[in-house]
Amino acid sequence: MSAHGETTPRLDAHLGKFSQAGTFVLAGLAFVLNQPVIVLITMLILALSALVPAVGPYRLVYRYILLPLHLLRPRIVEDDPAPHRFAQGVGAIFLLASTLVLFLTHVTVLGWVLDLIVFVLSGVNLFVGFCAGCFVYYHLGRLGLLPRVRYEGGFHWRGV
């Protein structure tokens, strides 16, 4: 409990890593295989995960397949899930823009650049432990444009 009677928010860090790995693989495969439909699928996964976390596809696979098979174990840490959902939402927006450009225009370079931005940022988060979307959320919260993070110390880089 904090000084104000609120409980410290927690999340499963292994679910986050699994989500980052899934996004990294799907965004990379879409580019390598030149398959905009994979960009669309990844966008839907991220959008669902950001807007309705309880039915996010990564969460469902993690909870009902990976955990029961003991392929991963939960790692609960003190952290606010809101910045992570924000990051997924931003990724979904980039992939929505990528999907629209790839399906509706002939400017495929722009579409693939948007996909590769998500690929690179999910890779940085997965392999280095720096969440760019969380960083943006924290600073927007400090400016009063988003709610402030709900744990002591604000933004922190967890590393790998």
In this predicted model, what pLDDT tens digit does every residue of 57-88 receive, in sequence order?
Answer: 999 999 999 999 999 999 999 888 999 999 99
Query: Residue 79's domain spans which residues?
Result: 10-142
Q: How do the residues of the chain divide into helix, strand and coil, expressed in percent and rounded to 5?
A: 65, 5, 30
Is 151 inside any structural domain?
Answer: no
Query: 29 to each of 8, 34, 41, 49, 157, how far by Cα in Å?
Result: 37, 8, 12, 20, 28
Is 148 inside any structural domain?
Answer: no
pLDDT at 152 over 70: no
pTM for this entry: 0.89
Is 3 inside any structural domain?
Answer: no
Is 102 inside any structural domain?
Answer: yes
How many domains would you assign to the chain? 1
Q: Which structure tokens are listed for 89?
A: 């939402």
Name residue, tokens 């509706």: 104
Is 137 inside any structural domain?
Answer: yes
In this predicted model, what pLDDT tens digit does every residue of 115-143 receive, in sequence order?
Answer: 999 999 999 999 999 999 999 998 898 88
Is 28 inside any structural domain?
Answer: yes
Is 156 inside any structural domain?
Answer: no
In this predicted model, what pLDDT tens digit does every residue of 27-44 receive, in sequence order?
Answer: 999 999 999 999 999 999
